[in-house]
Amino acid sequence: MSQDTYRRIRENPKFQAFVSKRNKFSIIMSVLMIIAYYGYILLIAFNKPLLATKLSEGAVTSIGIPMGLGVILFTIVITWIYVSRANTEFDREAEAIIKEGQK
């Protein structure tokens, strides 16, 4: 890509809006993951009795196991959401902006 094409793309208001939208979405997804992960770690550190609570009378499994699995599943789901959006909407927009900049 030539310097002129690169400059046109960087100066395009659509590109700037695209970068802003993509960054905002990435930050939101990162914050959600940080809350889930560190929330679980903080529960482990500061509220062990809650996590040690048995699911039912006579049960072997405590509430901490499903919560830990929930964190893992949540990670998978938000990763899938991000990848799906990146591979469809974000890729389409980026391609259109690049084509426009190459004209």
Domain ranges of the chain: 3-102
Alpha helices of 47-90 — where are they, by DSSP H? 48-52, 64-85
Angle subtended at Cα 30 by Cα 7 and Cα 26, rounded to the nearest 5 degrees = 25
What are the tens digits of pLDDT across the range 9-63? 889 999 999 999 999 999 999 999 999 999 999 999 999 999 999 988 888 899 9
Beta carbons within 8 Å of 28's beta carbon, 6+ residues apart: none
**Residue at token pair 């426009």:** 100
Q: What pTM does this model have?
A: 0.80
71 pLDDT higher than 90: yes
- Which residue, 1, 13, 34, 2, is CA-closest to 97? 13
